[in-house]
Structure 1
Amino acid sequence: MMRAVSAAETAVTTHPWAVHAEGLRVRAGRHLAVDGLDLSLTAGVHGLLGPNGAGKTTLMRALATVLPPAAGRLTLLGRSVDGRSELRSVRRTLGYLPQHFGFYPRFTVREFVGYMAWLKEMPKAAVAAAVQRSIDRVGLTAKADARLKTLSGGMLRRAGIAQAIVNDPQLLLLDEPTVGLDPEQRLDFRELLRDLGTDSCVLVSTHLVEDVVAACTDVIVLNEGRLVWQGTPEGLSGQGDQGDAGDSRAERGYSAVLRRHRAEAAR
């Protein structure tokens, strides 16, 4: 039986770094998908970019404490992820939306988000209000009592975001959160990200450079499991020129960063 968690245990605590990795290596099966990563993140919205196979999802799973590090050091919210007792306390303050998340089709949106709040050991008295607030924030108020199996793909994605933010996480990890969202919903989501990043560390993995430029304070580019570039969206936009692939300055900057990294690696 799960014990009740006190308000003191779930109170917001500030840390020098929400994420601090040194020489981090993480395997996806037998493949070393994250290879010697040094990364430090604090409050704000951080965009994670990289081509397919760059290690983005593996990194997100490691930060969500789903995959253990194979080597190196990883500290989340001031706590090492080495010990089981530390993992439990870290997970109470995490929010995580996987690229492909599981759900019970017969649950309503409210039941699903409430169940995830229970798994995160939220204080029972706070759950109902927290569930309603998270559903409202993702624009699913009218569908709160609809069964998940009746929702569209975009609505399901928003339900996934709702469960990720129900506990007001200090570290929020969103893997491809805008898949299935229409243009208007993506604009609303960007506004939500900016709001969440005021007090929390938010890491968003995506292929959509436009979302990163519009909503993020910081950009991280991975390739083959290694940090290729980190800086502001404006800095990324300044990396490219007209000869680089892309329909916008940011896309051309992203292409240029990868092009230069690959050229250096080939030497």
Structure 2
Amino acid sequence: MRTVSAAESAPTTYPWAVHAQELRVKAGRHLAVDGLDLALDTGVHGLLGPNGAGKTTLMRALATVIRPAGGRLTMLGETVDGRADLRRLRRGLGYLPQQFGFYPRFTVREFVEYMAWLKEMPKAEIPGAVQRSIDRVGLAAKAGARMKTLSGGMLRRAGIAQAIVNDPAVLLLDEPTVGLDPEQRLDFRELLRDIGVDSCVLVSTHLVEDVVAACSDVIVMNEGGLVHQGAVDTLIAQGGEGDAGDSPAERGYSALLRRHRSAVAR
């Protein structure tokens, strides 16, 4: 029997979990992401921007739902383009879209099990992984309930459970806190921080306070391009008392967008 070296058993590492260069992505015929440069590694990254900024289109491209129209996108060492075989990459991804489909008569457990099977998880690992993900989102008491009986917040938590069931190296969450009550949002922030220790997590949201509480850095998009990427404190420093917003972070966000739009209009 051959001894396995430490190098062979160590997890695969990449220069960046997500690396986009001059990335262009279409939403229908519209170029929703235009020339985006972005590099993300381990940690929790918040994605902010007004409606129509291109956030959801970017998330769909990172989830390999849609292919880039141009530029270069590399994720977990795999190039994402029209020729790539994405099955191996998808095993390392977790994705929660704004709206996700499910069979109404599935129980929560059956739904998460089904998603684990689609992600080609080893059969022997699925039962334990499903139970852990359900426990982590606080749905253990509802594991046997049919999906069609769940409230909006519970459905969202079931969606988060399927996204994390495979312990993804890259986790993409599009508006994950919609429908969650304040206590559930606090639990969710703690879960994000826990996952972000070992994974690259990108959270798209309109709630600036969630970014401040849970994220190590923040990305701001507008009209398909990158406006800002940096620490949360850097975003806060952009604003002042005269800027719109109910918190320092909201004032920094609104001030940043205002200055960007003024510069573009010149």
Question: Does the 8 Å CA contact 1:12/1:170 hold for their aligned counterparts?
Answer: no
Match of 2:16 in 1: 17
Residue aligned with 1:229, SS: strand
Match of 1:77 in 2: 76
Match of 1:122 in 2: 121
Q: What CA distance in whole angstroms lies between the structure 1 residues aligned with 2:167 and 2:83?
A: 22
Match of 2:175 in 1: 176
Task: After TM superposition, give the deviation of residue 199 of structure 1 in Å.
Answer: 0.3
Moved over 4 A (4+): none
Question: Does the 8 Å CA contact 2:24/2:36 hold for their aligned counterparts?
Answer: yes
Q: What CA distance in whole angstroms lies between the structure 2 residues aligned with 1:82 and 1:260?
A: 34
Q: How does 1:47-62 map to 2 (within 5 A)?
A: 47-62=46-61
Structure 1 spans left out of the alignment, 5+ residues: 1-10
Residue aligned with 2:61, SS: helix
For 1:218-252, what per-residue CA distance to the aligned partner results, in whole angstroms no more than 9, with x for missing partners? 10000000000111111111110011100000000
Match of 2:3 in 1: none
Match of 1:230 in 2: 229
Task: After TM superposition, give the deviation of residue 113 of structure 1 in Å.
Answer: 0.2
For 1:244-263, what per-residue CA distance to the aligned partner results, in whole angstroms no more than 9, with x for missing partners? 10000000000011000000
The alignment yields a C-alpha RMSD, in angstroms, of 1.0
Question: Does the 8 Å CA contact 2:175/2:203 hold for their aligned counterparts?
Answer: yes
Aligned pair count? 257
Match of 2:34 in 1: 35
Task: After TM superposition, give the deviation of residue 81 of structure 1 in Å.
Answer: 1.1
Task: After TM superposition, give the deviation of residue 98 of structure 1 in Å.
Answer: 0.3
Q: TM-score, normalised by structure 1?
A: 0.95
Residue aligned with 2:86, SS: helix
Residue aligned with 1:69, SS: coil
Match of 1:108 in 2: 107
Match of 2:242 in 1: 243
Q: What CA distance in whole angstroms lies between the structure 2 residues aligned with 1:14 and 1:176?
A: 28
Task: After TM superposition, give the deviation of residue 14 of structure 1 in Å.
Answer: 1.6
2:98 equivalent to 1:99: yes
Which residue identity lines up with residue 227 of structure 1 in the other structure? L
Match of 2:67 in 1: 68
2:43 equivalent to 1:44: yes
Question: Does the 8 Å CA contact 2:102/2:111 hold for their aligned counterparts?
Answer: yes
Structure 2 spans left out of the alignment, 5+ residues: 1-9
Match of 1:189 in 2: 188
Task: After TM superposition, give the deviation of residue 82 of structure 1 in Å.
Answer: 2.3
For 1:105-126, what per-residue CA distance to the aligned partner results, in whole angstroms no more than 9, with x for missing partners? 1000000000000000000000
For 1:194-226, what per-residue CA distance to the aligned partner results, in whole angstroms no more than 9, with x for missing partners? 000000000000000000000000100000000
Residue aligned with 1:240, SS: coil
Task: After TM superposition, give the deviation of residue 86 of structure 1 in Å.
Answer: 3.6
Which residue identity lines up with residue 75 of structure 1 in the other structure? T
Which residue identity lines up with residue 12 of structure 2 in the other structure? T
For 1:29-50, what per-residue CA distance to the aligned partner results, in whole angstroms no more than 9, with x for missing partners? 0110000000000000000000
Q: TM-score, normalised by structure 2?
A: 0.95
Match of 1:259 in 2: 258
Task: After TM superposition, give the deviation of residue 150 of structure 1 in Å.
Answer: 0.4
Q: What CA distance in whole angstroms lies between the structure 1 residues aligned with 2:13 and 2:148?
A: 39
Q: What CA distance in whole angstroms lies between the structure 2 residues aligned with 1:35 and 1:226?
A: 6
Which residue identity lines up with residue 40 of structure 1 in the other structure? A
Which residue identity lines up with residue 66 of structure 1 in the other structure? V
Which residue identity lines up with residue 38 of structure 1 in the other structure? D
Q: What CA distance in whole angstroms lies between the structure 2 residues aligned with 1:85 and 1:208?
A: 35
For the structure 1 residues 12 and 107, does the alpha-carbon distance in structure 2 shift closer, same or farther, using more than 3 Å as the test?
A: farther
